[in-house]
Amino acid sequence: MNNMKTQKIIFKRDEGWTLVEAVLTIVVMAIMMLGLTIVLMAFREHLDRSWSVRVMDQYGNDVIEQLSHQLRNAVDVEVRRGRGNTHKIDIKFLDPYVHDKYNYEYWEVDTRAGKVMINNRPVDIFYPPSSPGRGESFEIVQFTMTPYGQLTPNRRERTDSYRRNENFLNATYDVRLKLRYNRNAINPGERNWSYEREYSNRVYMRNMNLVVKKGILD
Amino acid sequence: MTMKVITWRQDEGSVDLMQLFVGLLIISIASIGTFQSLFYGYDQLDFNMRYRSAVSIARSYVEYWQGRIHTDIDFKDRPVFSGNQGDPEVFLLDERDPTTTYDDVYCEVAYSPIIAVDHETTEGTDFYKFSVIVLWSEPNDYNGAPHQIVFSAAMVPAGL
Structural domain of residue B52, as residue ranges?
A: 17-155
Checking if the pLDDT of A146 tops 60, the result is: yes
What is the C-alpha to C-alpha distance for residues B129 and B62, in angstroms, rounded to an integer? 11
B34, A43 contact by CB (below 8 A): no
Residue of B nearest to A9 (CA): B6
Handedness of CA A93, A94, A100, A103 (dihedral sign): negative
Q: Is residue B4 in some structural domain?
A: no
Collect all residues of chain B within an 8 Å Cβ-Cβ radius of residue A209.
70-71, 158
Q: Is residue B23 in some structural domain?
A: yes
Count residue pairs from A and B with Cβ separation < 8 A.
Answer: 90
Q: Is residue A117 in some structural domain?
A: yes
pLDDT at B9: 58
Helix axes B17-71, A19-73, angle to 10 degrees: 10
Q: Is residue B70 in some structural domain?
A: yes
Contact: B42, A50; criterion CB under 8 Å: yes
Structural domain of residue A196, as residue ranges?
A: 19-217
Q: How far is CA A151 from the centre of its chain?
A: 21
ipTM above 0.95, yes or no: no
Q: Is residue A111 in some structural domain?
A: yes
pLDDT at A208: 82
What is the C-alpha to C-alpha distance for residues A90 and A100, in angstroms, rounded to an integer? 19
Short-list A179, A204, A178, CA closest to A77: A204
pLDDT at A203: 95
- Confidence class for position B123, pLDDT limits 50, 70, 90: confident
Q: What average pLDDT does this structure show over B65-87? A: 89
What is the C-alpha to C-alpha distance for residues A4 and A7, in angstroms, rounded to an integer? 10
A203 touches chain B (CB under 8 A): yes
**From A7, A204, A209, residue closest to B2, measured CB to CB:** A7
Collect all residues of chain B within an 8 Å Cβ-Cβ radius of residue A202.
59-61, 63-64
Q: Is residue B24 in some structural domain?
A: yes
Whole-prediction pTM: 0.81
- The 3-state DSSP class for residue B37 equals helix
Q: Is residue B11 in some structural domain?
A: no
Q: What average pLDDT does this structure show over B122-136? A: 91
Q: Is residue A13 in some structural domain?
A: no
What is the C-alpha to C-alpha distance for residues A134 and A186, in angstroms, rounded to an integer? 7
Checking if the pLDDT of A218 tops 60, the result is: no
Q: Is residue A12 in some structural domain?
A: no
Q: Is residue B7 in some structural domain?
A: no
Collect all residues of chain B within an 8 Å Cβ-Cβ radius of residue A14.
12
Q: Is residue A208 in some structural domain?
A: yes
Q: Is residue B9 in some structural domain?
A: no
Q: Is residue B38 in some structural domain?
A: yes
Number of domains in chain B: 1
A3 touches chain B (CB under 8 A): yes
Contact: B71, A154; criterion CB under 8 Å: no
Higher pLDDT, B12 or B132: B132
Short-list B18, B3, B19, B14, CA closest to A13: B14
Number of domains in chain A: 1
